[in-house]
C-alpha cells in the first residue's frame, strides 16, 4: 500500500485575472465543459469555484505525478472535479488510466481571496 498526498492554495484573483484576460483559451486549457458550466452557474462565487478546482487539479497532480507514464500537455482536462450526490467534491481521473487505486479523497475550501485543496490517494 502506498499513500500519496498533494495540497495547493491559490489566490482567487489570479484565476479571475487569467479568465478575464485569456477567456476561452484559459478555460478550455484548464477546465472541462462540465466544470465550466458548474462554475459559471455559481453566481457571485464563480471565481472561488474556478480557483478551488484549479487548486484541486494542482493538488492531484502533485499526488500522482510520480505514477504518470509521461507528462501530458492536456493533464488539466484529464482531471475533472465533480460533486457526488451529496455535494462533496470528487476527482474523476479515470482517463489517466492509473493502476491499483484503492481509494482517494478530495477536500476543497475557499473564501473571498483564497482557495485550497487537499488530495489523498492510496495505491494497492
For the chain, the domains span 2-123
Report in angstroms the alpha-carbon separations of 27 from 24, 86, 89, 90, 115.
5, 26, 19, 20, 17
- Local confidence band at 71 (pLDDT 50, 70, 90 cut-offs): low
Residues of 81-116 as b/e, b for ≥16 C-beta within 10 angstroms? beeeeeeebebebeebeeeeeeebebebebeeebbb
Cα 81 to Cα 1, 90, 104, 105, distances in angstroms? 25, 6, 13, 12
Q: How confident is the model at residue 69 (pLDDT cuts 50, 70, 90)?
A: confident
What is the average pLDDT score of the chain?
Answer: 96
pLDDT digit string (tens) for 52-68?
Answer: 999 999 999 999 999 98
What architecture (CATH level 2) is domain 2-123? Alpha-Beta Complex (3.90)
Amino acid at each position: 500500500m502506498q499513500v500519496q498526498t498533494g495540497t495547493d492554495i491559490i489566490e482567487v484573483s489570479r484565476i479571475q485575472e487569467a479568465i478575464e484576460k485569456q477567456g476561452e483559451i484559459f478555460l478550455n486549457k484548464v477546465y472541462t465543459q462540465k466544470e465550466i458550466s458548474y462554475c459559471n452557474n455559481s453566481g457571485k462565487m464563480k471565481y472561488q469555484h474556478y480557483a478551488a478546482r484549479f487548486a484541486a487539479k494542482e493538488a492531484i497532480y502533485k499526488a500522482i505525478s510520480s505514477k504518470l507514464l509521461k507528462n501530458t500537455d492536456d493533464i488539466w482536462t484529464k482531471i475533472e472535479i465533480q460533486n457526488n450526490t451529496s455535494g462533496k467534491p470528487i476527482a474523476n481521473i479515470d482517463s489517466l488510466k492509473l493502476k491499483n487505486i484503492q481509494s482517494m479523497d478530495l477536500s476543497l475550501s475557499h473564501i473571498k481571496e483564497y482557495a485550497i485543496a487537499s488530495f489523498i490517494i492510496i495505491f494497492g
